[in-house]
Amino acid sequence: MWDYTDKAKEHFLNPRNVGEIENPDGLGDVGSVACGDALRLTFKVDAEKRVIDAKFKTFGCASAIASASALTEMIIGKTIAEVEQVTNSDIAEYLGGLPKEKMHCSVMGEEALRAALAYYRGEKVEDQEEEHGPLVCSCFGVTEDLIRKVVRDNNLKSVHEVTYYSKAGGGCETCHERIEEILMEEQGSSAEVSERDEPVVVSGAKMTVIEKIARIQETINNEIKPSLHKDGGDIQLIDIDGNRVIVALRGSCTSCPSAGITLRYAVEQKLKEFVSDELEVVEMK
């Protein structure tokens, strides 16, 4: 399992400020369920331009939940001027660090904050989209401007690192050449343009780690959850460690005497069928 800090685990297991503020002063929507991560951030500001409340809703992994929870705590009580200085590195540092493979979750938090601040300033969504530059990674909807920003802000040197921080290049890999060009433009000779992500072999076909994660989440959402929901149960993807898929049963499944059978036949077999026959499902108690 990823090496999470105690603070990151705490914010995942007991997230703060979950929900949505009605008639917010700031609202930011980033990511998409199709890409595996999505986040909505809302906040309220008082007459002195100080954030008095902030809430979030997210679809994503443990790191996405922890990062969003931390972000709300970080901005409540701060002035807009202070909030504007918050970066993804600050979010990760607040949590005591994040696994390098999960840094894109802190970046998503900063993206949501920037979008919410733009909303607060009255900027139109169309104007924001025009400023984001051309699309580089079509698999995960990552633009050139975002890649350049994470490269500069985090001193990234390789395609591998860009994928960790933005997901760009984590799918079909056809954008790797363009990412390398951006790295050279931003970092010059210090960029490690020869590095490549080693693809994961799944059921005889090659896929990247991020693509594998996306397929697992998609299978859980589309093939497993609907059948559990019929009996009042549910399941949550907690993490992925190699071929071990860590999940938590929810609802009526938690007290069901057949939970073990459900995990083996309704969950593990579906994941083996749709993703990889090498996967093993482990329940987090």
Q: Does the active-site annotation cover 105?
A: yes
Residue of 105, 137, 139, 253 marked active site: 105
Q: How many CB atoms lie within 10 A of CB 50?
A: 17
Q: Does the active-site annotation cover 61?
A: no
Q: How many CB atoms lie within 10 A of CB 25?
A: 18
Please report which residue ranges of the chain form alpha helices under DSSP H: 6-13, 62-75, 80-83, 88-94, 103-120, 125-131, 144-154, 159-166, 176-187, 209-219, 225-229, 259-261, 269-274
Given phi > 0 = left and psi -120 to 50 = alpha, else beta, which region is 89? Answer: alpha
Given phi > 0 = left and psi -120 to 50 = alpha, else beta, which region is 226? Answer: alpha
**Who contacts 230 (Cβ-Cβ below 8 Å, separation ≥6)?**
none
Residues annotated as catalytic are 35, 105
